[in-house]
Amino acid sequence: MDEKQEASERIEELRRQIDHHNYRYYALDRPEVSDAEYDRLFAELVRLENDNPELITPDSPTQRVGFAPIEKFLPFHHEVPLLSLENAMQETDVLEFDRRVRKLLGHDAEDVEYVTEQKMDGLAVEMVYEDGNFVGAGTRGDGFTGEDVTANVKTIRAVPLKLHTPETGPPPPRRIAVRGEVFMEKSDFEALNETRRNAGEPVFANPRNAAAGSLRQLDPSITAGRPLRAYFYGFGTLEGHEFQTQWELLNQLRMWGLPTNPRSVLCANIGEAISYFEKLTAQRESLPYEIDGMVIKINRLDWQRSVGEKSRSPRWAIAYKFNPDEAQTHVLDIGVQVGRTGILTPVALLNPILVGGVTVKRATLHNMDEIERKGLRIGDAVIVHRAGDVIPEVSEVIESLRTGQEKPFHMPTACPSCGEAVVRLPEEAFHRCVNRNCPAQVKGSIVHYASRDAMNIDGLGHKIVSRFIDEGIISAVPDLYRLRAEGLENLPGFGAKSAQNLLAAIEGSKATTLARFLYALGISHVGSHMAELLAGHFGSFDAVRAAGVEDLKKISGVGDKVAFAVHSYFENPANRELVDRLLEAGVKAEEPAPARPVEPGFWLGKTVVFTGALSSMTRQEASALLASRGARITDNISGKTDVVVAGADPGSKLAKAEKLGVRIMNEAEFTGMLDES
Ligand code: IVH
């Protein structure tokens, strides 16, 4: 074989492999190779094509940035108009939608099957494929004509340039205009803003704006550098294929290599759709991207056609929106809280207001700089923003509503907890209380020690800790392990039962993992993730405690700041004494043994519990896969549980599994085990 032919065959092979890995990564969300391996294949292809430019074809994965900047966007005409959705703000609106649908279909009494999809907060784009090849893309615009963003969409790796021909099932159709949402994941958005901030460029207000701004670039090479994603959910023009249902459509698009949202659910009736909405509301914050509600669609496409459309929106779908997460109120006063590290945080005391379904009375103001930046005064009308479990914050001051009675706020010069001096170090945004024994700081550090991701002492929250300190029952973390029932039972409102429970929880916390213990100590810059890194690297508490700055810096992910903070924590005699007292009290922090390797037929006869959300499939899908391998899926953890599969934001089940010593798998391990058994 001559050299040219060899190059040509290798190029073909590399393109095939890269397309395949794109499909695994974006459409199935189950990559088979590491990013590094993917990059290596890509680099090899670029090199071979550079050496053999005559072999470059427009559909090569290297040709995503193939267009020069343009002056302005050309119009893009939608052959089938892209409608918008009617909104449902509450459950009654959804029930009314279902009632109307059933009436239009002429079977009032029967259930209608619906597909629920997340309402992605990005921008709608239509992409046209002919014989499986990407030929063009346009934004939604007014629904009839948008902007031609073909060159930009071509740079998005999640969008295939060639549709995948599955081994079984129908091949890509003659012609299809697929519709979907282009968006940016939250973490990518934050990283992008961080880079922009460092470069002195203006930051984007939210992921949606970042996605829209990135797609509407006249220079495609700028879009190419932005981490855009896409999920597809519908179609306009379609030739050479027919779908029966929305559910089939979603699965088929995925088979053709078009990413679809893995968290869509097929619901037997409107009641199921409403329950899923409640679940979604709870999951919303832990999702990797932003959504602003759920779209409910009639599953059968013939029924969709039969209920039809109004002028701007279909009668077969509705957008069930989340409660707005902003509201307007007044700042009655500004208080100051002292945290475990001595930092003083100003807090707005609000005229109570409902935000996202929860009454909010207080909102953080972060620090003095923030108050000055916003120009906030006591008495101001403000917008309060609340996102999930995150502490509410004042996002905006409405200056036009000022009466002249508003008063400026000043940071106190004495700590509101202990009365000692408050200082502000020149390079810090924060004011701090200088007294290490300040009761507020001690309370904060005990609450942190007991918190869920730290020692996980159930029932030891801020209220109880405050009481124990104020009544002189404890004065430092190690005192927890000297608490006895007799001392507690006499406290008013503290019964024998609650005393017993608390003591059991404290006792139970003694056996813990190294990572949790390191995190619990509250060393500056050591969050849960950093604690895991340290624990994984050193393996024992003694090794961490003995580590020098240079030893620490050798760990990838540990910089100067962390290395210095950890080392100086253990140099400090007061900390050394505290740690020794904890170890003497019986705290044992040990790294769990590494996971055992898999045996074939691993799942046969195993009892499995899921906790937290999986990103690559729904829990129903995962359960079905396991059931087909002979496993039993249960809801509650007990001594009989063999494996706990922990997805994102696992609940209390995880802690229980750890306590019982049940084997825990994260999502990557779990999907790996599926492949092998
Ligand atoms: S279906 C005819 N499904 O919501 C129905 N739209 O208000 C067309 N959106 O412009 C839309 N996620 O940008 C549909 N799973 C989803 C969606 C979704 C987000 C957006 C889309 C559209 C807007 C409609």
Q: Quick check: 548 pLDDT over 60?
A: yes
Whole-angstrom distance, CA of residue 636 vs CA of residue 80: 49
Q: Is the CB of 61 under 6 A from ligand 1?
A: no
- Structure confidence at residue 389 (pLDDT): 59
Query: For residue 599, what pLDDT band results from cuts at 50, 70 and 90?
Result: low
CATH topology of domain 3-55: Helix Hairpins (1.10.287)
- Give the pLDDT confidence score for residue 387 in this predicted structure: 66
Helix (H, G, I), strand (E, B) or coil at 665: strand
What is the mean predicted confidence (pLDDT) over 490-508? 87
- State both tokens at 474: 């404890």
Ligand 1 center–CA 84 separation, angstroms: 7
Residue 190: burial class (beta carbons within 10 Å; 0-12, 13-18, 19+): middle
Mean pLDDT on 7-29: 91
Q: What is the CATH number of domain 327-423?
A: 2.40.50.140
Is 118's pLDDT higher than 80? yes
pLDDT tens-place string over residues 427-486: 777 899 989 889 999 999 999 999 988 999 998 999 999 999 998 899 999 999 999 988
How much is the pLDDT for 572?
92
**What fold does the segment set 607-676 form as a domain?**
Rossmann fold (3.40.50)
Residue 10: per-residue pLDDT: 95
Q: Which of 169, 201, 204 is closest to 189 using CA atoms?
A: 204
| In 446-519, beta strands by DSSP E | 511-512
CB 670 within 8 A of CB 645: yes
* Known active-site residue 659: no
Comparing 472-481, 517-526, 574-583, 591-600, which segment has the lowest mean pLDDT? 591-600
CB 386 within 8 Å of CB 358: yes
Cα 656 to ligand 1 centre (Å): 40
Give the pLDDT of residue 195.
85
Superfamily of domain 439-590: 5' to 3' exonuclease, C-terminal subdomain (1.10.150.20)
pLDDT for 446-456, tens place per residue? 999 999 889 99
pTM over 0.85, yes/no = no
Q: What is the pLDDT of residues 244-286, one digit of tens each?
A: 999 999 999 999 999 999 999 999 999 999 999 999 988 888 8
Ligand 1 centroid to residue 250 C-alpha, Å: 14
CB environment 26-39: b (16+ within 10 A), e (fewer): bbbbbbeeeeeebe
Burial code (b: 16+ CB inside 10 Å, e: under 16) for 232-252 equals bbbbeebeeeebebbbebbeb
Check if 154 has its Cβ closer than 6 Å to any atom of ligand 1: no
Confidence of residue 90 (pLDDT cuts 50, 70, 90): confident
What are the distances in angstroms from CA 188 to CA 183, 220, 390?
10, 19, 20
pLDDT in tens, 158-198: 999 999 999 888 999 999 999 999 999 998 998 888 888 77
> Average pLDDT over the chain, rounded to whole?
90
Structure confidence at residue 598 (pLDDT)? 47
Q: Does residue 234's CB lie within 6 angstroms of at least one atom of ligand 1?
A: yes
What pLDDT is recorded for position 552? Answer: 94
| pLDDT score, position 676 | 59
Q: How high is the pLDDT of residue 358?
A: 81
Q: Could you say which of 4, 103, 119, 606 is catalytic?
A: 119
Mean pLDDT of 489-494: 80
State residue 400's pLDDT score.
92
CB atoms within 10 A of CB 66: 13
* Confidence category of residue 300, pLDDT binned at 50, 70, 90: very high
- Most confident segment among 194-198, 290-294, 600-604: 290-294
What the block records as the tokens of 106 is 């002429």
Does the C-beta of 263 come closer than 6 Å to ligand 1? no
Query: 117, 126, 142, 295: which to mutate for ligand 1, most atoms within 8 A of CB?
Result: 295
Distances (CA, A) of 459 to 279, 414, 463, 487, 500: 26, 32, 10, 17, 11
Whose alpha carbon is nearest atom 17 of ligand 1?
119
**pLDDT of amino acid 497:** 86
Q: Which residue's CA is the nearest one to ligand 1's atom 6?
A: 119
Any idea where the domains of the chain sit in the sequence?
A: 3-55, 87-321, 327-423, 439-590, 607-676
Is the per-residue pLDDT at 402 higher than 70? yes
Q: Ligand 1 in contact with 120 (CB < 6 A)? A: yes
- Using 50, 70 and 90 to split pLDDT, how confident is the model at 600? low
Predicted pLDDT of residue 320: 96
CATH of region 87-321: 3.30.470.30
- Which of 2-16, 514-528, 661-675 comes out lowest in average pLDDT? 661-675
- Rounded mean pLDDT, 110-130: 95
Share of the chain above pLDDT 90, in %: 61
Q: Report whether 640 contacts 647 (CB < 8 A).
A: no
Which atom of ligand 1 is found nearest the CA of 264? Answer: 15
pLDDT band at 677 (very low <50, low <70, confident <90, very high): low
With bands split at pLDDT 50, 70 and 90, how would you rate the model's confidence at 569?
very high
Query: Measured from the CB, is residue 535 less than 6 Å from ligand 1?
Result: no
